[in-house]
Amino acid sequence: MSTFGLRLRKGIRQLKDVLIGRTQITNKLKFYLMIGSVMSVHVLLLIIFYQLRVLPMFFFNICSIVTYLSCFNLIHRGSAYYLSVYFITFIEVVLHSFAACLVLGWQYGFAQYIIAILPVGFYICYMLDINRRKIKIAVFLALVSMFAFILCKLISFYGEPLVDLDNELVEIIIYIINTCGTFAFLTLFTLVFVFEIRLSSNRLQHQNAILEKLASTDPLTGLYNRRSMDIFLSQAAESDTSFALIMCDIDDFKKVNDTYGHDFGDVVLKDVAKITSEQVREKGYVCRWGGEEILILLNNASEESSYRIAENIRRNVANKVFDLNEKWIRCSLTIGIAIHKKREAVEETITRADYNLYRGKRSGKNAVVL
């Protein structure tokens, strides 16, 4: 198979991946679409002019097809040639419209292609790196398009066509073909533009979600950070429902860091955070309050339910073997619980949970104190 055939098959495969949402549409593929769609119109016109024996336009379309085949090669060579490809396309479309109006006349609708190529210049500025110079080029080409369109009309108005087909049916058919080609070209690039807007919007939403997650969670454990927990605590205090605060602290965590290194300490923190999250799930929020301290907010919690969850957490951590690089240890948690009272400030509830935590520390650690 020829090199061109291989490139064509690759382009079709890429287009299929884009349509089914498997991949993003690339600038190279966009230019392949643009050149391919324009060249397909010229192939159709080539057949029509051959059948009608309009030899000047037949040979002109042969030259146009050869030009677009060379554009495929330029596109393959890289993005440095993309703007040149557009200039070649623009010049060819304008010259073809001039030639068609000169040979056949205005009434066949060939000048419509000048309108079709007009928005592409602005799209190229959007697609490539936008700068003031390229915007000026797009505006300049838009003005050239306008004068070229008017000039095509003047050519037909003040001069007789070189070839008189003298067939109204042929005139209508060619006009319809040119009109359909123009609308198809505009529709294609409108769809591509809409697709890109939607893709950019989705990408922006995804990036915002990532930034929101980074701003609201602790990067090591994946738990909510203190800033997020402050918001949840304010919301819970403003509601009429009861809630419990559970303060957890890893026993002798400094000794773990000093003995086994901070990497091992990070493993312990992440595993404890995972165990805690698995026990709480949708019942509330888990936050890395600071250092080795974890604060849990349980919604609609009673003393019994909060104690049960805290005890499950303590027991699972105590039974867990933490290991890294063939070293293993066991750790424990001391946990303090406080049920929020009506009209009590959240800070006071936190203080009571913290106080119960240190009661557990003084009584021997690895305990839940309510």
Tens digit of pLDDT for each residue in 219-235?
899 899 999 999 999 99
Domain boundary at 182, 213, 244, which? 213
The answer on 111 and 162 residing in a single domain is yes
In a domain, 221, yes or no: no
In a domain, 257, yes or no: yes
What is the domain range of residue 301? 226-369
The answer on 55 and 119 residing in a single domain is yes
The answer on 147 and 177 residing in a single domain is yes
The answer on 238 and 183 residing in a single domain is no
Q: What is the pLDDT of residues 98-142, one digit of tens each?
A: 999 999 999 999 999 998 888 877 777 766 665 666 677 778 888
Q: How far apart are CA 206 and CA 350, in angstroms?
A: 35
Residue stretches of the chain with pLDDT short of 70: 1-25, 126-134
What is the phi/psi pair of residue 298, to 5°? -105, 120
The answer on 278 and 252 residing in a single domain is yes
The answer on 182 and 66 residing in a single domain is yes
Instruction: Say how many C-beta atoms besides its own lie within 10 A of residue 234's C-beta.
Output: 11
Q: How far apart are CA 140 and CA 215, in angstroms?
A: 46
Tally of domains in the chain: 2
Cα dihedral 167→173→178→181 (10° resolution): -160
The answer on 258 and 157 residing in a single domain is no
The answer on 81 and 59 residing in a single domain is yes
Domain boundary at 153, 184, 213, which? 213
The answer on 34 and 162 residing in a single domain is yes
In a domain, 220, yes or no: no
In a domain, 195, yes or no: yes
The answer on 299 and 261 residing in a single domain is yes
In a domain, 200, yes or no: yes
The answer on 235 and 101 residing in a single domain is no
The answer on 254 and 180 residing in a single domain is no
Q: Tokens for 273?
A: 């955070």
In a domain, 218, yes or no: no
Q: pLDDT at position 310, please?
A: 95
Q: Tokens for 306?
A: 């909060």
Residue 135 parent element (H or E): helix 132-158
Q: What is the 3-state secondary structure (H, E, C) of 69-131?
A: HHHHHHHHHCHHHHHHHHHHHHHHHHHHHHHHHHHCCHHHCCCHHHHHHHHHHHHHHHHCCCC
Per the listing, tokens 């893709």 go with: 199
In a domain, 140, yes or no: yes
In a domain, 282, yes or no: yes
User: Which CATH number fits the domain that encloses residue 256?
Assistant: 3.30.70.270
Helix orientation angle between 112-127 and 168-216, rounded to the nearest 10 degrees = 10
Domain boundary at 213, 236, 252, which? 213
Q: pLDDT at position 84, please?
A: 86
